[in-house]
């Protein structure tokens, strides 16, 4: 059903359940257009059936049997009951999270968090409106402005979201309506056949009219019914189907056909979350409190941990802020120093616990370039120098040692960052350098990918871990080892694996390892890397995205850690609701950094030099994360090479979200992206953009051009070539939906819902996977090809931009891309060519 | 000592020091399960075994609520036959279990958590996304 589309109210739809006991948004403006489809549906249904009962049934009951109207009556009653339940029942709306749940984390937390579900990595996206990480299968409906559990789609015919609680009724409504239409049509035909002689009687005419209406509605209704029968049998939601999440892959939510059907039809009615009677806690808590006995080991551990724990938390905070990938439009405020509860080691906010949690749910800092806290600032600086010497597109410029140093000072990072990281970095840099030397666009891209990582961390970020070759290797191996059936799934899982590996790697370094340890540094790296990834991944638009986002070599992205998440975020968000697509495309961490760079901090001077375009202040220290302008603009170069290959895909995806143009909004941040892609979640309120729930409010445009980081991430995503395709596909579909290109595109009701938030959420997993795949070792470029083809984004909904996944192997693509300016031009978007390091030309959508 | 958060409910005499959130465990899909991993913030407050026992019990209760058993089949059929009007008079199986869970949490709070300066919040209030454990500051101890 075509997405109802239009009205995005601040609150919830009229048919949603009562207001939550939690924060209640102000009443939404009345939107009469939302009620047109449901009114029409009701009118036709009730009107036609009434006419049928009045004009046709009397004769039928006399002529044949009284069972005829009784049968029709029962069926009609069933139709009405299910219609009412589908319309008025709360689909499973999540109440807004209370403020305590995210606290300061939203500045630091990544945009995505990965969980493993039955062996498959699934990405959970941060919902900036609802302030929590969306559970799997949850999506934010832009029409209703709510996150809905097991989101299927927003159905305009019932003017309600279809989710966990009312899917059964919607499904039964479709089944019963099909049966009802068939019955009405059949009995009407019978009537007409017996009244051929006196066809001009009123009864006959009315019956003919009713038959016409029934016949007209039968085709779409039956089609939709068949579609949902297949979905139920497969255990998928409309959202997942149209965004192609599990295309070619494994659906982790299926339990087999029989169990899926019985779950839909026979499970107990799920509870409502909103409007519950709040139970009053009658427990009285008063000290003194009992305490458990501490063991010697525990005591010893406590002693050792003292100080570091605090530092970790602090650093983590700042870092996450930078890398936050949320699509909040507003730039996140500067990292908060502290703790709401000084007495307790911070970090245990909801997100914290998520982030710190055990392996089963590793947090994936997609955009966070840094993952090895052990790297210190100096190491980064050195690496940066190395990078530069190699002539790499060192977005690492972003490394801006200066910025990092300042950051370092800001954070009192523990001194365990030591030289070893530097060495590692050098190694990786070397690696990167060689890769780059391999040269040519492809080489560059590849190296960017590889080097991007190192460069990323090098970028003066305190997350040298990124550049850590071991990390990269680990990631690569992980991604390569991941064997996902579906390309999409594979990509996602790989991506998640990769990204997860980063985070876990980072976390594995010195004990209180906290990715955010180098608060400032991590921030930078986050900015540089995170954004890029985010944006990149989103990409089906990848190519576009890369343009949008500073696709400069990873280093670039890194170089402007300061670009900060703000810049990145807007970009990222603007990228599209299918943010995830993009991110998957690019190296998660790379992406992040780049995106982050987009934020306020001016890009490092080197970056400018490299990119050939002035970055106003892109490299400014993270401190200024002002507006999150899509830093993507700054990073067009890296995306260039991607562009011409994927441009069309990219643009599609890219725009679906932020801009309608094919060009990735990232770049066009200043103009375009309706939402900026923040690498991190910002606390600032984001006015949910119509297209995506995650897209933050305004397309925060950073004062600086997109951070190099973006391009970096893009380049680093060399391996992500495959993912690019996949992402593109995903984003194309997602984007299309999101952008409301087809509000009604294909997915019927799904489109609307999907466009709103479903697209973003749905694509997420796929893009994620894509990203992972891309992240795979650059050497795998060829192998990656299949992935792209399998990109799950099948978006039946009308992607405005045809997703054309070029089936070129990643590497060749990169080479080609790098060497030649993208042949494609973003549709209707001005493209600015930027020369990056190594002679790569990138197209930036302007 | 920790200051009281402005948003904190002041019904408790003790001030709230921190909040720990036990996240959902999605390893088995979207079935409602919570992670049994013991959060580090509670290390000094409660026994690991005790806490894990609580979470495990909650997980079992939720699994029972979502079970596709005879009760839910009958309920579904009855609802269909009565055009869902039965929901006006009867409580669904899930709701019954939720009531049981609420009672269990209340009892755990009274017996085990409150004496230790902790408070569990029913996850249904958070949309079954997290179990919120509120940690109260312990003025009797010097930190």
CA distance A71 to A75: 6
User: Which of B12, B92, B116 lies nearest to residue A268, judging by beta carbons?
Assistant: B92
> CA A523, A529, A530, A535 torsion: positive or negative?
positive
Closest of B121, B124, B117, B51 to residue B94, by C-alpha: B124
Tell me whether residues B40 and A357 touch, CB distance under 8 A.
no
Which of the residues of A are catalytic? 155
Hey, how many other C-beta atoms are within 10 angstroms of the C-beta on A30? 11
Tell me whether residues B14 and A122 touch, CB distance under 8 A.
no
Q: Output the pLDDT for position A493.
A: 40
User: Which residues in chain B have Cβ-Cβ distances shorter than 8 Å to A345?
Assistant: 40-41
Q: Output the pLDDT for position A844.
A: 61
Question: pLDDT tens digits for B12-62?
Answer: 467 888 888 999 999 988 899 999 999 888 888 888 999 999 999 999 999
Rg, C-alpha atoms of chain A: 27
pLDDT band at A188 (very low <50, low <70, confident <90, very high): very high
Rg, C-alpha atoms of chain B: 18
Q: Which residue has the higher pLDDT, A467 or A153?
A: A153
Tell me whether residues A271 and B19 touch, CB distance under 8 A.
no
End-to-end CA distance of chain B: 8
Question: pLDDT tens digits for A531-565?
Answer: 444 444 433 443 443 444 443 444 443 444 444 44
> CA A247, A794, A656, A550 torsion: positive or negative?
positive
Closest of A723, A840, A739 to residue A795, by C-alpha: A739
Q: How far is A253 from chain B (nearest CA, A)?
A: 6
* Mutation choice for A interface testing from B129, B134, B141 by most A CBs within 10 A: B129
3-state SS track over A590-648: HHHHHHHHCCCCCCCHHHHHHHCCCCCCCCCCCCCCCCCCCHHHHCHHHHHHHHHHHHH
Contact A794, A729 (CB under 8 A): yes
User: Which residues in chain B have Cβ-Cβ distances shorter than 8 Å to A340?
Assistant: 5, 18
User: Which residues in chain A have Cβ-Cβ distances shorter than 8 Å to B125?
Assistant: 21, 95, 276, 278-279
Q: What are the φ/ψ torsions at residue A418 (nearest 5 degrees)? A: -140, -175
Hey, how many other C-beta atoms are within 10 angstroms of the C-beta on A586? 57
3-state SS track over A258-288: HHHHHHHHHCCCCCCCCCCCCCCCCCCCCCC
Structural domain boundaries in chain A: 33-92+154-266
Segment A746-753 shows an average pLDDT of 37
Q: Output the pLDDT for position B116.
A: 87
**SS3 label, residue B118:** strand
Q: Output the pLDDT for position A415.
A: 41
User: Which of B20, B84, B135 lies nearest to residue A85, judging by beta carbons?
Assistant: B84
Residue-by-residue DSSP string for A753-775: HIIIIIHHHHHHHHHHHHHHHHH
Question: pLDDT tens digits for A320-362?
Answer: 444 444 444 444 444 444 444 544 444 445 554 454 444 444 4
Q: Which residue has the higher pLDDT, A41 or A363?
A: A41
Q: How far is B14 from chain A (nearest CA, A)?
A: 5
CA distance A586 to A375: 23
Q: Which residue has the higher pLDDT, A437 or A76?
A: A76
Hey, how many other C-beta atoms are within 10 angstroms of the C-beta on A203? 18
pLDDT at residue A385 is higher than 70: no
Segment A592-604 shows an average pLDDT of 41
User: Which of B18, B44, B95 lies nearest to residue A341, judging by beta carbons?
Assistant: B18
CA distance A640 to A542: 10
Contact A765, A499 (CB under 8 A): no
Q: How far is A413 from chain B (nearest CA, A)?
A: 21
Q: What is the pTM of this model?
A: 0.53
Q: Output the pLDDT for position B35.
A: 93
Q: Which residue has the higher pLDDT, A57 or A716?
A: A57
ipTM score of complex: 0.89
* Mutation choice for B interface testing from A81, A267, A493 by most B CBs within 10 A: A267
Contact A232, A266 (CB under 8 A): no
Tell me whether residues B13 and A116 touch, CB distance under 8 A.
no
Q: How far is B1 from chain A (nearest CA, A)?
A: 6
pLDDT band at A523 (very low <50, low <70, confident <90, very high): very low
Residue-by-residue DSSP string for A475-526: HHHHHHH---SSHHHHHHHHHHHHHHHHHHHHHHSSTT--GGGSHHHHHHHH
Per cent of chain A over pLDDT 90 is 18
User: Which residues in chain A have Cβ-Cβ distances shorter than 8 Å to B141?
Assistant: 291
CA distance A774 to A791: 12
Structural domain boundaries in chain B: 3-67+93-136
Q: Output the pLDDT for position B102.
A: 93
Q: Output the pLDDT for position B29.
A: 86
CA distance A695 to A655: 12
- Is the backbone of residue A318 left (phi > 0), alpha (psi -120 to 50) or beta? alpha
> CA A707, A711, A713, A716 torsion: positive or negative?
negative
Give the alpha-carbon dihedral of A563, A569, A575, A579, to 10 degrees: 130
User: Which of B45, B75, B129 lies nearest to residue A268, judging by beta carbons?
Assistant: B75
CA distance A439 to A436: 5
User: Which residues in chain A have Cβ-Cβ distances shorter than 8 Å to B126?
Assistant: 95, 97-98, 101
User: Which of A77, A132, A291 lies nearest to residue B83, judging by beta carbons?
Assistant: A77
Q: Output the pLDDT for position A104.
A: 52
Q: Which residue of B has its CA nearest to A344?
A: B18
CA A345 to chain centre: 30
Question: For chain A, what's the residue count?
Answer: 846
Q: Output the pLDDT for position A465.
A: 41
CA distance A141 to A147: 6
Closest of A512, A652, A521 to residue A596, by C-alpha: A521
> CA A610, A614, A617, A618 torsion: positive or negative?
negative
CA distance A48 to A57: 12
Segment A582-605 shows an average pLDDT of 41
Residue-by-residue DSSP string for B73-92: HHHHHHHHHTTTTHHHHS--
Hey, how many other C-beta atoms are within 10 angstroms of the C-beta on B142? 6
């Amino acid at each position: 059903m075509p997405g109802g589309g239009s009205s995005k109210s601040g609150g919830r739809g009229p048919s949603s359940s009562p207001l939550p006991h939690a924060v209640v948004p102000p009443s939404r403006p009345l939107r009469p257009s939302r009620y047109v489809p449901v009114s029409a549906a009701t009118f036709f249904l009730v009107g036609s059936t009434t006419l049928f009962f009045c004009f046709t049934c009397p004769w039928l009951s006399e002529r044949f049997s009284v069972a005829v109207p009784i049968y029709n009556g029962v069926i009609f009653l069933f139709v009405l009951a299910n219609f009412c339940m589908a319309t008025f029942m709360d689909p499973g709306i999540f109440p807004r999270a209370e403020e305590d749940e995210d606290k300061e984390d939203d500045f630091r937390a990544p945009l995505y968090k990965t969980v493993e579900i039955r062996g498959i990595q699934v990405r959970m996206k941060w919902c900036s409106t609802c302030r929590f990480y969306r559970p799997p299968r949850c999506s934010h409906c832009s029409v209703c402005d709510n996150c809905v559990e097991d989101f299927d789609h927003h159905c305009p015919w019932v003017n309600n979201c279809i989710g966990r609680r009312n899917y059964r009724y919607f499904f039964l409504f479709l089944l019963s309506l099909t049966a009802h239409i068939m019955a009405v049509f059949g009995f009407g035909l019978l009537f007409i056949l017996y009244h051929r002689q006196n066809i001009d009687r009123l009864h006959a005419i009315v019956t003919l009219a009713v038959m016409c209406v029934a016949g007209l509605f039968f085709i779409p209704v039956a089609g939709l019914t068949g579609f949902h029968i297949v979905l139920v049998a497969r255990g998928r939601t409309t959202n997942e189907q149209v965004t192609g999440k599990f295309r070619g892959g494994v659906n982790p939510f299926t339990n087999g056909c029989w169990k899926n059907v019985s779950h839909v039809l026979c499970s107990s009615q799920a509870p409502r979350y909103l409007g519950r009677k709040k139970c009053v806690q009658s427990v009285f808590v008063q000290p003194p409190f009992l305490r458990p006995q501490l063991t010697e080991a525990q005591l010893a551990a406590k002693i050792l941990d003292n100080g570091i724990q605090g530092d970790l938390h602090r650093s983590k905070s700042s870092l996450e802020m930078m890398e936050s990938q949320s699509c909040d439009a507003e730039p996140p405020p500067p990292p908060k120093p502290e703790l709401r509860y000084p007495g307790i080691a911070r970090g245990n906010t909801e997100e914290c616990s998520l982030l710190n949690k055990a392996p089963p749910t590793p947090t994936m800092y997609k955009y966070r370039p840094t993952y090895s806290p052990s790297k210190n600032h100096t190491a980064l600086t050195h690496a940066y120098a190395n990078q530069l010497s190699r002539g790499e597109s060192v977005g690492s410029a972003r490394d801006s040692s200066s910025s990092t140093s300042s950051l370092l000072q800001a954070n009192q990072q523990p001194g365990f960052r030591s030289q070893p990281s530097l060495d590692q970095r050098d190694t990786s840099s070397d690696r990167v350098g060689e890769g780059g030397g391999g040269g040519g666009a492809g080489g560059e891209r590849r190296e960017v990918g590889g080097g991007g990582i190192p460069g990323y961390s090098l970028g003066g970020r305190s997350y040298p871990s990124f550049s850590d070759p071991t990390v990269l290797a680990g990631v690569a191996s992980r991604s390569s080892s991941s064997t996902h059936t579906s390309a999409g799934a594979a990509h996602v899982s790989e991506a998640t694996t990769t990204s997860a590996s980063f985070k876990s790697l980072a976390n594995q370094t010195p004990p209180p390892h906290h990715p955010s340890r180098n608060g400032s540094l991590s921030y930078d790296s986050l900015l540089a890397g995170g954004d890029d990834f985010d944006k990149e991944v989103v990409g089906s638009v990848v190519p576009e995205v890369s343009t949008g986002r500073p696709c400069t070599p990873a280093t670039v992205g890194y170089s402007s850690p300061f670009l900060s998440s703000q810049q990145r975020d807007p970009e990222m968000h603007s990228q599209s609701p299918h943010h995830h697509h993009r991110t998957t495309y690019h190296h998660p961490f790379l992406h992040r950094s780049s995106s982050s760079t987009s934020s306020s901090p001016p890009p490092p001077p080197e970056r400018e030099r490299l990119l050939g375009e002035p970055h106003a202040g892109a490299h400014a220290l993270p401190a200024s994360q002002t507006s999150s302008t899509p830093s993507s603009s700054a990073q067009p170069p890296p995306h260039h090479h991607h562009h011409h290959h994927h441009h069309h895909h990219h643009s599609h995806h890219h725009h679906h979200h932020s801009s309608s143009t094919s060009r990735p909004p990232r770049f066009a941040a200043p103009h375009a992206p309706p939402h900026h892609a923040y690498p991190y979640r910002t606390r600032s309120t984001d006015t949910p953009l119509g297209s995506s729930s995650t897209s933050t409010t305004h397309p925060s445009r950073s004062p600086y051009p997109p951070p190099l980081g973006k391009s970096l991430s893009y380049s680093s995503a060399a391996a992500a070539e495959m993912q690019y395709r996949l992402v593109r596909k995903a984003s194309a579909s997602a984007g299309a939906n999101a952008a409301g290109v087809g509000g009604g595109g294909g997915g019927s009701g799904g489109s609307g819902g999907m466009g709103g938030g479903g697209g973003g959420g749905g694509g997420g997993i796929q893009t994620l996977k894509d990203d992972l795949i891309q992240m795979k070792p650059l050497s795998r470029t060829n192998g990656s090809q299949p992935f792209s083809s399998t990109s799950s984004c099948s978006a039946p909904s009308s992607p405005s931009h045809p997703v054309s996944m070029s089936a070129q192997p990643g590497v060749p693509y990169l080479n080609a891309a790098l060497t030649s300016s993208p042949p494609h031009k973003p549709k209707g978007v001005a493209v600015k060519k930027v020369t990056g390091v190594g002679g790569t030309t990138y197209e930036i959508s302007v | 000592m920790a200051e009281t958060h402005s948003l904190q409910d002041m019904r408790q005499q003790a001030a709230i020091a921190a909040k720990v959130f036990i996240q959902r465990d999605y390893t088995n899909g979207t079935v409602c399960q919570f992670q049994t991993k013991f959060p580090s913030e509670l290390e000094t407050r409660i026994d690991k075994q005790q806490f894990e026992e609580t979470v495990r019990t909650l997980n079992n209760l939720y699994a029972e609520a979502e079970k596709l058993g005879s009760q839910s089949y009958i309920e579904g059929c009855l609802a269909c036959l009565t055009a869902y009007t039965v929901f006006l008079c009867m409580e669904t199986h899930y709701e019954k279990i939720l009531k049981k869970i609420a009672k269990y949490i209340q009892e755990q709070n009274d017996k085990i958590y409150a004496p230790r300066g902790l408070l569990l919040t029913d996850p249904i209030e958070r949309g079954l996304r997290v179990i919120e454990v509120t940690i109260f500051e312990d003025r009797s101890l010097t930190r």
